[in-house]
Structure 1
Amino acid sequence: MEQDANRTKRRSRRIFICVAVVLVVIFVLALVLGLSRRNQGANGFQSTFIERCEKFNGPDCQNIWKVFSQAYVRRDPCNVPMEAYNALMAAASIQPVCNRELFWSKTKQIVHAFTAKRDCYITMEDTLLGFMLDGLTWCGKENSSETFTSGCPGWSQCENNPVRSFWNRASAAFAEAACGDVTVMLNGSISTPFSPASIFGSIEIKRLNYRVRSLNVILVTQNNTGTDCSNASLKDLLDTLGAGISYSCRAVPEAQIQACSSDPKRTCGPCW
């Protein structure tokens, strides 16, 4: 009986040791996998940045990456103001393209579908900086030189987060580079097409300067339904627009814009 009891104890001890070893192995593998995935996320972000940059001829993509990352690494991800990207704006400046700048607010999908088929206009996302970072998320952490792509604050979580500050600063530069006749597509299917809280309303329209001759507002509607150019929010737009810049407005069905941009026989020009 005593021998049986000893064998049972030894067997239990071996089982306990085996279970403990398995748990340790699982923990180590999970830790290694987690670190690997984090590194892949950071490296993947940098690779995407560089690959997109290299689609443009001329820029020093490695230097632009260095200047870009210096704006947010080793910083509290809720304490990256617009000014942190000033050096990036200098390293990859947005050049004036007169009569071709197209702004948008709550019309991103149709605007980019339009510019993808027509090179008559360019948006912020068609510039080097906008193209490189469109759709991406990034941030840094205090006392860390890494770039993180998860665990970053959302757009509205804090005002001075890296992504929001970048788009605010880059959009300001895009507007400051505008000249001649510029256009904005607003959503004519909502009650307030112009919002003072949007990037266009809070930043871009305020940065249009003396080089801009006119602002053409296109209200994108659905099948001739929705708001029109008498909408009260457009009065706010006019009040915000700088002196000396003329204003025009037209409501245009989305189907008309899509048909025009898809017609190869149409010459390069507006679809309204």
Structure 2
Amino acid sequence: MSQHWTRSILALAVIILTPCVVNSHAPSKKEQPQKWSGPGTSQNLRNILVGRCFHYMSLYPDVGQKNCYGIWDALINAVYRKNPCNITEEDYEQLANVTGQTIPCDKTLLWSRTNDLVHRYTKATENFVTLEDTFLGFLFNGLMWCGKTSGPGMNFKSCPAWNACDNNAISSFWKMASATFARTSCGVVNVMLNGSTDGAIARKESILRTVEIPSMDPANVSEVKLWVIDDITGEDRNSCNSESLLELKKYIEEHKLKYSCIDNYKPVQALQCVNNYDQAACNQCKYQ
């Protein structure tokens, strides 16, 4: 009887203590993604990118056959399991390679502070190409994304805002895309600027000045032509002879690029007049 009870007590002790042993080796609480100040990755990002890829190829067959799923893989390789504030332009090198595209000479149109107007113009005329009209720009325009260090996949809850850190996933991407676009440009490169904006017409921290102008190859770019476009209902704060433009002219020429400038390029002003025909600048006699 004594041995029987001894065995029973030992068995009961094992049963009671086992959960304690198991719990002592339980995994720690799963690391949570860091919360950032910007919105999270766009929902259904993969499907959007693949869909846009096939759509662009149907619209512009000259872009050639692209591996739409390979583009998604290249994005994953750039940002997965990485701190979204430590993504460099070099991380997107593979993505740049799989989305390569040749833009005809004299077709490049850069812009600063004229987002809405410049894209209305390229859609209306189809004579020029902005970065957002290229294959790469078309794919990612208006989207948000970032990875997380806590595991694979995208962070759908939050991502760093544009100015949250120097090398965040979004700003580094658009710097890479802008540099690629400017570097491969040839002939006359046109730039649409806002003549009614406050302060300098092209801020020193702008993509135009920090990325695009330095990336141009003087051997391939014959001229940088600025279009200074006033808001049709706004003030004329800057013109080709204003201090801000002359300073920009000097900056462009320091990069061994030829410079020219035109105030209120008439085809663009005509587009502005479609919805503002009663403005003084829209006098029909001006376009005869």
Shorter-chain TM-score category?
A: 0.7 to 0.9
Q: Which amino acid aligns with 1:72?
A: V
Q: Output one character per residue of 1:86-141: Cα deviation in whole Å (capped at 9) or x when no partner.
A: 11111111323200000000101000111111110000001111011111111000
Partner of 1:226: 237
Instruction: Please tell me whether the aligned partners of residues 59 and 92 of structure 1 are also in contact (alpha carbons under 8 angstroms).
Output: yes
Instruction: Map 1:89-238 to 2 at 5 A.
Output: 89-190=96-197, 191-209=199-217, 210-223=219-232, 225-238=236-249
Please identify, of 91-100 and 241-250, the stretch whose mean Cα deviation from structure 2 is larger: 241-250
Q: Give the secondary-structure state (helix, strand or coil) at the position aligned to 2:44.
A: helix
Q: Output one character per residue of 1:67-97: Cα deviation in whole Å (capped at 9) or x when no partner.
A: 1221011100100011111111111113232
Note the aligned Cα RMSD (angstroms): 2.1
Partner of 1:251: 263
Gaps of 5+ in 1: 1-40, 262-270
Gaps of 5+ in 2: 1-40, 58-64, 276-286
Alpha carbons of structure 1 residues 149 and 257: separation in structure 2 relative to 1, 3 Å: farther
- Distance in 1 between the 2:173 and 2:156 partners? 15
Alpha carbons of structure 1 residues 255 and 150: separation in structure 2 relative to 1, 3 Å: farther
Alpha carbons of structure 1 residues 146 and 188: separation in structure 2 relative to 1, 3 Å: same
**Deviation at 1:255?**
4.2
**Deviation at 1:260?**
7.8
Instruction: Please tell me whether the aligned partners of residues 100 and 181 of structure 1 are also in contact (alpha carbons under 8 angstroms).
Output: yes
Please identify, of 230-239 and 60-69, the stretch whose mean Cα deviation from structure 2 is larger: 230-239
**Deviation at 1:238?**
2.2
- Distance in 2 between the 1:62 and 1:236 partners? 45
Q: Are 1:81 and 2:88 matched, yes or no?
A: yes
Q: Are 1:239 and 2:253 matched, yes or no?
A: no
Equivalenced residue count is 222
Please identify, of 248-257 and 212-221, the stretch whose mean Cα deviation from structure 2 is larger: 248-257
Alpha carbons of structure 1 residues 259 and 83: separation in structure 2 relative to 1, 3 Å: same
Percent of paired sites with the same residue = 32
Partner of 1:9: none
Q: Output one character per residue of 1:132-174: Cα deviation in whole Å (capped at 9) or x when no partner.
A: 1111111000142212243100000011110100000010000
* Alignment TM-score, normalising by the size of structure 1: 0.76
**Deviation at 1:45?**
1.1
**Deviation at 1:227?**
1.4
Q: Which amino acid aligns with 1:166?
A: F
**Deviation at 1:222?**
2.4
Instruction: Please tell me whether the aligned partners of residues 106 and 187 of structure 2 are also in contact (alpha carbons under 8 angstroms).
Output: yes
Q: Which amino acid aligns with 2:230?
A: T
Instruction: Please tell me whether the aligned partners of residues 238 and 244 of structure 2 are also in contact (alpha carbons under 8 angstroms).
Output: no
Q: Kindly name which structure, 1 or 2, has the bigger radius of gyration based on alpha carbons.
A: 2
Instruction: Please tell me whether the aligned partners of residues 183 and 215 of structure 2 are also in contact (alpha carbons under 8 angstroms).
Output: yes
**Deviation at 1:42?**
6.4
**Deviation at 1:177?**
0.8
Q: Output one character per residue of 1:23-52: Cα deviation in whole Å (capped at 9) or x when no partner.
A: xxxxxxxxxxxxxxxxxx766111111111
* Alignment TM-score, normalising by the size of structure 2: 0.72
- Distance in 1 between the 2:115 and 2:194 partners? 10
